[in-house]
Amino acid sequence: MSDKNQEFPIDLELEAPLKKVRYPGFDMDIMSMQLVTEAHLTEGKAVIHLRPVSAPPEVREELENQIAAMVREATGVKEVEVHSPEPPKPKKEEKGPHPIDGVKWVIPVASGKGGVGKSTVAVNLAMALSALGLKVGILDLDLYGPSVPMMLGVTGMQPDAVGDKIGPIMAHGLKAMSVGFLIKADTALIWRGPLVMKAVRQLLHDVAWAPLDVLVLDLPPGTGDVQITMAQEVPITGAVVVTTPQDVALTDAIKGVDMFRQVGAPIMGIVENMSYFNCPDCGSRHEIFGHGSVKPLCEKLGVPYLGEIPLDPALRQLADLGQPKAVLESPAGEPYRELAKKVMDQLNSQD
Ligand SMILES: Nc1ncnc2c1ncn2[C@@H]1O[C@H](COP(=O)(O)OP(=O)(O)O)[C@@H](O)[C@H]1O
Ligand SMILES: [Mg+2]
């Protein structure tokens, strides 16, 4: 381009024809809309540059055809070249799951409905995996009812900053993080979609988890924004689905399994919680919820059966007092030690 052209970006003889070109669907001409950035006539050829505009391809084509027709008619040149660039695409956010720095495996603990023992399983599984010698973290993603701080006996603790990350709370050898550490216990937060996504993303990626072998995720019940964001944000090693042997809970377990399948996440299997009750008075085993229905369900769904955990009042007491170590070392901890071994086997077979 010559200096002269830079000074006068639109050749005079092209102004008039371009003024006749109306933007498709609008009353204004493209000159008044300041769409034309350059227009030159050289050696029997017209070259016209437009500003980038968002338009469907057919509108773009109509515009180019109109320009060519008007310029040809007015100047008699045969060759008309119209450049109408597409606007730059809005910069895409970093999409797709990407591993958490320094974390090898991610195990979400999920269920279709609340109160089936997800958090209890998540905390005790994390403790049992840690007792097997792994470096373990637990992330409470139940934004609506965080219970990990209470179950670990560390309510009211406040995380420190570690560089540009949030330092996890150390509790019983686990690295723990929960919305419960970040907001006041009595703050009622209304979590809407975008806020949920932001919180989940930050809890996964902006916490100083490294180095960890396993990060256990305690999910809220159901199949909502938290679960979807989680699946979009991190590669999942395998999900543990918790259910009780009641019919309703089983339906929810199927939904839970379906959800992970739909996001392409592998499933470690289903745990049957509150499966039976060992009566401390009479010593006999009571199968209150119709025990035994989860194993056949697993076979039907083609996912591993991860075992059963009895209804144990001692467990409830210790869990609610925030003493996971006492749980693990008591008879109540046995089913979790078994569960951890099964999970460990699956982890080892992934290497
Ligand atoms: N196997 C069990 N035996 C006795 N109580 C249990 C058992 N599993 C969970 N609980 C108790 O049930 C309640 C709900 O469990 P929780 O883990 O918070 O469920 P969720 O996270 O699925 O909502 C808690 O008080 C917990 O201590
Ligand atoms: Mg819970």
Q: What DSSP assignment string belongs to 1-30?
A: --HHHHHS-B-HHHHHHHHTPBPTT-SSBT
CATH of 103-348, one of 1.10.443.10, 1.10.10.10, 3.30.420.130, 3.40.50.300: 3.40.50.300
Per run of 10 residues, the mean pLDDT along the chain (length 351 residues) is 60 95 78 88 93 76 94 94 80 71 97 91 97 98 92 94 95 96 71 83 96 97 85 93 85 86 87 82 74 87 94 82 88 94 94 65
The number of the ligand nearest the C-alpha atom of 289 reads 1
The number of the ligand nearest the C-alpha atom of 243 reads 1
Q: Note the pLDDT of residue 7.
A: 65
* 158-to-167, 168, 186, 262 alpha-carbon distances in Å: 9, 9, 15, 36
Both structure tokens of 16? 């008039």
Architecture of domain 3-83: 2-Layer Sandwich (3.30)
Strand partners, 263: none
79-83 and 169-171 beta bridge pairing: unpaired
Q: How many whole angstroms from 45 Cα to the centroid of ligand 2?
A: 72
Both structure tokens of 291? 């025990």
Q: How many whole angstroms from 269 Cα to the centroid of ligand 1?
A: 19
Q: How many whole angstroms from 55 Cα to the centroid of ligand 2?
A: 48
* Atom nearest to 218 CA in ligand 1: 21
Using CA atoms, how far apart are residues 312 and 184, in angstroms rounded to an integer? 31
Q: Note the pLDDT of residue 188.
A: 58
Helices 247-262, 294-301: axis angle to 10 degrees equals 30
* Atom nearest to 116 CA in ligand 1: 22
Do 3-83 and 103-348 have matching folds? no
Q: Note the pLDDT of residue 187.
A: 64
Domain ranges of the chain: 3-83, 103-348
Strand partners, 105: 214
* Contact residues of ligand 1, CB 6 A cut-off: 111, 114-120, 147, 273-274, 309, 311-312, 315-316, 319-320
Taking the whole predicted model, whether its pTM rises above 0.85 is answered as no
161-162 and 165-166 beta bridge pairing: antiparallel
Locus of tokens 């769904």:
301
Locus of tokens 């049992």:
128
Q: Note the pLDDT of residue 91.
A: 56
The number of the ligand nearest the C-alpha atom of 253 reads 1
Measured in degrees and rounded to the nearest 5, phi and psi for residue 239 equal -95, 140
Which residue lies with its CA nearest to atom 27 of ligand 1? 316
Closest to 171 (Cα-Cα) out of 207, 139, 214: 139
- Contacts (Cβ under 8 Å, ≥6 apart) of 337: 128, 131, 328
Locus of tokens 């697993």:
298
Using CA atoms, how far apart are residues 128 and 343, in angstroms rounded to an integer? 10
